[in-house]
Amino acid sequence: MTQILSIITFLALLFYTATEVKFQLQMMQQNTYRNDRYNRWLKGESFASVSRLVDLFLLLLLSTNFLPLFVQIVAITVALYKSVNHLKAKYKKPLVFTRRATRLYVAALLLTLVIAGLSAATTTLNNGSRALLALAILAPYLMMIANWLMQPVEKQINRKYYNEAKQILAQMPGLTIIGITGSYGKTSTKHYLYRILCERYNVLMTPGSFNTPMGVIRTVREQMKPYHNVFICEMGAKQIGDIKEICDLVNPQIGIITAVGEQHLESFKSIENVQRTKFELVDALPASGFAVVNNDFPYIANRPVDNVPVKRYTIADTGADYHIENIRYDSDATRFTVVGGGERIELSTKLIGECNLSNLMAAVIVARHLQVPVQSIQYGVSRIEQVEHRLNMKRTPGGISIIDDAFNSNPDGARMALDVLRRMTQGKRIAITPGMIELGDKQVEYNRTLGRQLATACDYVMVVGRYNRDAILAGLQAENFPEEKLFVADSFAEAQARLAQVAEAGDTVLYENDLPDTFK
C-alpha cells in the first residue's frame, strides 16, 4: 500500500508540474520566446501568492516524516485540484501549440523527467516526488533553462526556413514589396492598403499581427503564389535591429512609417531608439524606392530622409506634402478630403477617429504612387471594414454604442480614442480601461495623464486591475472627477457586470486596452 501510494503521489505531482510548465510556456510565447522579456514579466509577478505558499508548505511536509501516508494523500489531492484548475482556466490569449512551442514544451518536460528520475533512482521515489514539487515551484526558471538549451536547435530550423523564404522571393523579381512599421497604426494601415490595392493588383499581406521575422517567413513560405504582384509586409520591433532583420529578408521597395511614439520603452529605453529602429525601414529602401512618413509625430518630422523620394503627411495642413480637409462625422460614415500631389480626393469611410483617417491617408498616397485610379481608391475606401479592437464602433441590440480600442493602447491612440468618445453627445460616455503598459519609467506619468483625459471626456469611468490603478485614480482625482461616477474593478468580468447595471440605450462605451489582462 505504501509503495502504491508513493507511485500515485509521484504521478500526480508529475501531472501538476506538467500543467505548471504549460502555463509558463504560454507566458514565454507571449514574450516572443525571449528570456529577457519573459524575465521582466516574471519580476512583476508575486512569488508569495497563496498558491505558491501552499506548494512551499506541502514541500516542507513532504520533506519530513510527519504522518507520511496522510501527507501523500494531501499532496495527491492538492496536485490534482491545482492541475484541473490550470487546465480549466480561460485566457484572453491562450497558448498556441506551434511547432516551436511543442518542441520547447517537450524539452522542458524531458528536463523535468531527467531531474525527477535521477532523484528517484539515486534515493527513493519520495525524493522524486519532492523534486517534482520543487520543479513546479521553480517552473519559470525551468522554462528559461529549457528555452536557452533549445536556442541552437531553433536557430538551425529558423535558418532553413529563412533560406526557403529568401529563395521564393528571389524567384519573383516583379513583386512590389511594401514594408509598414510604426509604434502604432501599422496593422490598420496594412489592412486599409490591402483593400485599396486589391482593386488593381493581386495582393498578399502578412495576416493578423504576423510582424516578426518568423511571421513574415511563414507568410512567404505558406501563402506566396506566383500570381501575386504586391506583398504588404507588416514589421514589428521590440529592440534595435528588428526592422532591419526583416528588411534584409524581403528587400522592400516602398516603406511606410505610421508613428514614432513612446511605446515598448521597457525594451527600447528611449524615444530616440524607437526612432532609429523604425527608420531602419526607410534606410533599407533602394535609391529607386519610395517612403511615406507621418509628420504628425515630432520624431518623424525631425528625421531627414535623403536616400529615397519621400512624401510626408499630416492630419492638419502644416506644410507637409499631404493633409486632410473637411472632416465630417455623419451617422452612417466619415467624409473627408485628402489633399496633396496636386489632387483633392473626396473619400467616405465607415471608420471613425483621426488616427484611422491618418492611416487611410498613408494608404491612399501609396495607392496613387502605384497608379491606382482615384475612382478605385474611393470605392476601396468606402468598402473598408473596421479592424477588430482598433477603434472600431458597433451598436448592441440594446441601443448602446461600443467603441472597441482594446488592442495594446498607447498614449497617442488613447488620446484619439477619448476624442472620439468626447464627440458623442447622446447618453452617457463610459470608459473601461486597465491603462497602458510597456512604457518603462514613464508608465506612471502617462497613466496619470490618461486619468486626467478620462475625467474630461467621460461621464463614468471603470478602472480595471491593479497594474495602473493608482496612477489613473490620481489623474482622475486631480480633475475632481466625482467618486460616485467611478468604479474600480479587479477584472474585466467584474467591470462587465457593473456595466450591465449602469449602461442604458443611447450610451457610448469605450474599451481602451485589454493587454494587461492577457498576462494573467
305-324: pLDDT as tens digits: 999 999 999 999 999 999 99
pLDDT confidence of residue 516: 47
Sign of CA dihedral 366, 368, 372, 375: positive
Triad 412, 413, 416: Cα angle to 5°:
90
The H or E element spanning position 447 is: helix 443-457
Among the listed residues 233, 234, 119, the one whose alpha carbon sits nearest the alpha carbon of residue 182:
234
Q: How far apart are CA 97 and CA 89, in angstroms?
A: 16
169-194: pLDDT as tens digits: 999 999 999 999 998 889 889 999 99
CA distances from 251 to 185, 274, 285, 289 (A): 22, 21, 7, 10
Cell 512551499 belongs to residue: 56
pLDDT confidence of residue 369: 97
Contacts of 294 by beta carbon, 8 Å cutoff, 6+ apart: 182, 185, 257, 258, 259, 300, 312, 313, 314, 358, 362
* Alpha helices in 50-174, H assignment, sequence order: 50-62, 68-88, 99-122, 125-137, 139-170
Q: How far apart are CA 505 and CA 426, in angstroms?
A: 10
Q: How far apart are CA 41 and CA 28, in angstroms?
A: 9
100-154: pLDDT as tens digits: 999 999 999 999 999 988 888 777 788 888 889 899 999 999 999 999 999 999 9
Other C-beta atoms lying within 10 Å of the C-beta of residue 8: 17
pLDDT confidence of residue 520: 46
pLDDT confidence of residue 387: 64
CA distances from 465 to 257, 274, 473, 488, 501 (A): 33, 28, 12, 8, 19
Q: Enumerate helices (H) and strands (E) in the chain, giving the number of each.
A: 20, 15
Q: How far apart are CA 349 and CA 379, in angstroms?
A: 10
pLDDT confidence of residue 430: 93
Centroid of chain to Cα 216: 16
Q: How far apart are CA 519 and CA 363, in angstroms?
A: 33
Cell 497594474 belongs to residue: 467
pLDDT lower than 50: segments of the chain:
516-520
pTM of the model: 0.72
Beta bridge partners of 334: 329, 349
